[in-house]
Structure 1
Amino acid sequence: MSSWRRHVEQRFIEVAGTTVPEPGSGATWNRWAFFARLAEEDLSLARLSEGHFDALAILAELAGPRPEPGSRWAVWAAKPASLEFSGGRVRGVKPYCSGARICTHALVTAGDRLLAVAPGTPVTGSWPATGMAASDSLDVRFADAPATPVGPPGGYTGRPGFHHGGIGVAAVWYGGARAVARPLVGARDPHALAHLGAVEVALTGARTALERAAEEIDADPLDRERQAAGRALRVRALVAETAAEVLDRAGRALGAGPLSHDEQHGRRVADLTVYLRQHHAERDLARLGEMVTGATW
């Protein structure tokens, strides 16, 4: 294990022992700002931490088992997957399981069910990625592992918190983009200054969108106005586009120097590049377009 991955794991253990506001609690922006600060420190750390706190919020919302003190949770909901659940046991392989070797518990999706499980067996070599390497997102194999259903069938994606949590991920992207942009601060070359100005505009717009979304969620945490899904799609798309612009402009302004000689900056660029691929891009834009069709602007 690399020294950096050991550092990230130790920090995750520390962070998992803290408390953050739940989404819709009246302090949603404080929750997301916390995730963004962690992302500025390290994106893998933020990924692990956001997953842990998302799991705690899900357990509270769906009346799942009470987390034990000192436990570290994950949410493993990636597709495709071949998990089968029957007789109180789950079997099969789940991909992209962040924290596969450090989390003590996980929420996993199997069909339309959400299950609480103890982590299965990580598949060695299934996460050789350079970007987000410290997130330890290996495939995990479950062999008739005991599993406890959490919520009713479809409850995981059918609750308002599913969309609120999706914006929490965008807050992590935002923090990662801020970290990538940091070397531009203090630039003197006029072209680099122009890129810095454009980055400032984009990041300010992303933060404003996140803050407004947090206010709207706190005003309607149960989504009685039926705005959660569209809000999440809009904010995630905006923040993802902002992060992509930051990656592009930072690279054009700084050239190969920081990528070649600054290990931390190179890791941040690689991590953000990989993590942004969690965004569903055109598929989400198409869903948003379907919502917009027929609406009055």
Structure 2
Amino acid sequence: MRQGPATATETPTEADALRAVAEGALEADAGARDLSKDMRRLADSGILARLCTFEGGPEQIRAQATLLRRIGRASLSVGRLAEGHMNALKLVTLYGTPEQVQRHISNARNGAIYGVWGADAAPPVTVTAELDGRLRLAGGKRFASGLGTVSHAVVTAQHVDGLRLAIAEVGHPRRADAAAWDTSGMRATASGSYDFDSLTSEALGAADAYLREPHFQGGVWRYAAVQTGGLEALAEEVRRAVSASDAPGEAQLHRLARIAGLAHRARLMVEDAALRVETPGAGPADVALSLAAREEVEQACLEGITLADRALGTRSFAKGQRAELVRRDLGFFLRQADLDGKLRQVGAALCAAKAPIGEVWAE
């Protein structure tokens, strides 16, 4: 017997939530609304809770990489916030006290959205005083993703003892400056600036805990998974265009085959990196694999954008078209800090390895 439509009181499925996120992506990009409703959909469907459960084994890790990829396929901007939420709660789980872990995981399951804000403005965020587990801050952050949607941010703060982590409530509208975010891509993330002057926050972990591996650089697999989803979205637009033709030409079929292959290759490398980095005992070679996966995802995405442009023609540049939004967001999202340094770290790890190439990252 065929079921009727879901009622408003029913819990949305993962597919329902992701479909709604995808359908609202153009509206959010145009600034007609923020991403709070999309994040609430991810929470209500259980997606965020699954992303932020960290005690599982390989199947759970692979499932989390899949979820990030699927969110990115629906909306790269929502994927950026979901990855930040996951990253923040991972840091709390790694470095927080049992009481902190319990409280913040509970907050998240009750609807609070977390982020990680690491990019400093001028002047940078610093600790001016510390008392009873509380940090007094000064300075500001830029690229503060999710202004108006993120309620708690894990922020880095300079201190005489090293780089400290703080958990701050960031729902103060007068401290936020969304106008500082004036970009061509990832506009819906509202990654503006935030003023932390005289703000008291909660200390998290010891000095320089944030920089510990394999969870610092090794964690880049998360946003690479979201970017892979963006590549898959672009490949799907090519597939729809080629399939719609009564007699697609050989060149178009070749482009579709190539972009699908790029997306598949990126997925496999990201999943492998996730499994290695998130498995207890991960070392420098595993961190290097995660960084190498990020590089491979970037190259696959750049080649995929070129293929999509050839396949779709002017539709890749027509405002209001999904392909235009995806290529614009993806091209911007690929620009991360110190990309050459990340690749240099991969090369150094390979030089230090005792096993030959082909065995360093083998099972």
Per the normalisation by structure 1, the TM-score is 0.91
Give the structure 2 partner of residue 106 of structure 1: 153
Partner of 1:255: 313
Shift of residue 155, structure 1, vs aligned partner: 0.5
Distance 1:130 1:261, change over 3 A: closer
Deviation at 1:165, TM superposition (A): 2.6
1:270 to 328, 346, 349: 328
Instruction: Go from structure 1 to structure 2 and tell me whether the alpha carbon gap of 1:206 and 1:279 turns closer, same or farther (over 3 Å shift).
Output: farther
C-alpha separation in 1, matches of 2:350 and 2:95: 30
1:69-148 residue pairs with structure 2 within 5 A?
69-79=110-120, 82-87=124-129, 88-111=135-158, 112-119=163-170, 121-148=175-202
CA distance in 2, matches of 1:60, 1:272: 30
Q: Is the 8 A contact 2:147 2:178 kept in 1?
A: no
Secondary structure in 2 matching 1:78: coil
Distance 1:200 1:109, change over 3 A: same
Offset of 1:7 from its aligned partner?
6.3
Unaligned ranges ≥5, structure 2: 1-25, 130-134, 243-247, 357-363
> Contact (CA 8 Å) 1:23, 1:221: kept in 2 or not?
no
Q: Distance in 2 between matches of 1:184 and 1:241?
A: 18
Letter in 1 for 2:128: S
Deviations 1:235-288 (A, max 9, x none): 111111111111111112221124216522211111111111026432211222
Deviation at 1:198? 1.5
The 10-residue stretch of structure 1 (88-97 or 156-165) with the greater mean CA deviation from structure 2: 156-165
**Cα distance in 1 for residues equivalent to 2:319 and 2:341:** 37
Q: Distance in 2 between matches of 1:168 and 1:277?
A: 15
- What's 1:227 paired with? 285
2:39 to 12, 16, 20: 12
Partner of 2:81: 48
Gapped regions of structure 1 (runs ≥ 5): none
- SS of 2:119's equivalent in the other structure is coil
Query: Is the alpha carbon distance of 1:16 and 1:50 closer, same or farther for their aligned partners in structure 2, counting shifts above 3 Å?
Result: farther
Aligned-pair RMSD on alpha carbons? 2.1
Higher relative contact order structure (alpha carbons within 8 Å, sequence separation ≥ 6):
1
Partner of 1:182, secondary structure, is helix
- Which one of the candidate residues 84, 91, 111 is aligned to 1:58? 91
Q: 2:339: which partner in 1?
A: 281
- C-alpha separation in 2, matches of 1:293 and 1:282: 17
Question: Within 2, Cα distance between the matches of 1:254 and 1:238?
Answer: 24
Looking at structure 2, the residues matched to 61 and 295 of structure 1 have their Cα atoms a distance apart, in angstroms, of 28
Report what 1:38 is aligned to. Answer: 71
Q: For the structure 1 residues 288 and 214, does the alpha-carbon distance in structure 2 shift closer, same or farther, using more than 3 Å as the test?
A: closer
Displacement after TM superposition at 1:204 (Å): 1.6
Distance 1:24 1:213 in 2: 17
Overall identity of the aligned pairs, in %: 25
Whether the 8 Å CA contact 1:16–1:49 is kept in 2: the answer is no
The CA distance in 1 between the partners of 2:62 and 2:296, in whole Å, is 17
1:199 to 259, 274, 280: 259
State how far apart, in whole Å, the 2-side matches of 1:16 and 1:279 are: 29
Q: Quick check: which has more Rg, 1 or 2? A: 2
Q: Does structure 2 conserve the Cα–Cα contact (< 8 Å) formed by 1:91 and 1:142?
A: yes
Q: Is the 8 A contact 2:112 2:151 kept in 1?
A: yes
Q: Once the 2 structures are TM-superposed, how far is the Cα of residue 292 of structure 1 from its aligned partner? A: 2.2
Give the TM-score normalised by the residue count of structure 2.
0.75
Does the alignment pair 1:25 with 2:56?
A: yes
